[in-house]
């Protein structure tokens, strides 16, 4: 037996279907500069070198400021420009506050300063990281606390305390000067 649906029911169904906004989670990416002070303990020696790094990450799965995110991250850096450090890992965004989430990261760490040392790292970021409803780039700014451990006997132990400063904010004065002289 055929089901007969009234014209009003079809119009209501079509109206609801066409008027509903689509829900999707586009990847959101960021680049940042990470200046920090490091406490390094290696082979019975302690030091506190300056650290400077550049970081990029992508968060998948976010649909608003209050949603979780997960994605890859990479950072390249150096102590006083005397070595080369590379970090590759994953990040999880915990929306503890709409505008001030926590981001937990962890992964592999490698340092080259004559010798190649590898290990792992764990990082905690707290600061601004909103959701961009109109584009894929997200501006950030906040505090970073990180622990590192290299593998092997007498492995290097490091604690970093620093800032995560959005690369667009760092480059903004240069962009303003360039545009002023056009």
Residue with tokens 């290990």: 119
pTM score: 0.81
Is the pLDDT at 5 greater than 70, yes or no?
A: no
Q: How far, CA to CA in Å, does 37 sit from each of 142, 150, 160, 170, 177?
A: 15, 18, 6, 19, 30
**d(Cα 100, Cα 141) in Å, to the nearest integer?**
10
Is 132 in a helix, a strand, or coil? coil
Per-residue pLDDT reduced to its tens digit, 68-109: 999 999 999 999 899 999 999 999 999 999 889 999 999 999
What domains are there in the chain, each with its CATH number? 25-180 (2.40.160)
Per-residue pLDDT reduced to its tens digit, 124-161: 999 999 899 999 999 999 999 999 999 877 788 999 99
């Amino acid at each position: 037996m055929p089901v007969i649906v009234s014209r009003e029911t079809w119009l209501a169904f079509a109206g609801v279907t066409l008027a509903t906004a689509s829900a999707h989670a586009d990847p959101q990416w960021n680049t940042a500069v990470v200046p920090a002070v490091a406490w390094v303990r290696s082979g019975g020696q302690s030091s506190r070198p300056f650290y400077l790094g550049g970081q990029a990450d992508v968060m998948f799965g976010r649909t608003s400021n209050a949603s979780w995110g997960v994605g890859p991250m990479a950072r390249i850096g150096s102590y006083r420009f005397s070595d080369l450090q590379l970090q590759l890992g994953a990040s999880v965004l915990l929306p503890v506050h709409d505008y001030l989430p926590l981001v937990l990261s962890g992964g592999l760490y490698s340092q080259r300063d004559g010798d190649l040392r590898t290990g792992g790292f764990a990082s905690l970021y707290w600061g601004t990281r909103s959701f961009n409803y109109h584009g894929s780039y997200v501006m950030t700014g906040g505090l970073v606390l990180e622990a590192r451990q290299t593998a092997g006997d007498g492995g290097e132990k490091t604690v970093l305390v620093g800032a995560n400063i959005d690369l667009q904010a760092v480059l903004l004065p240069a962009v303003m000067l360039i545009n002023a002289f056009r």
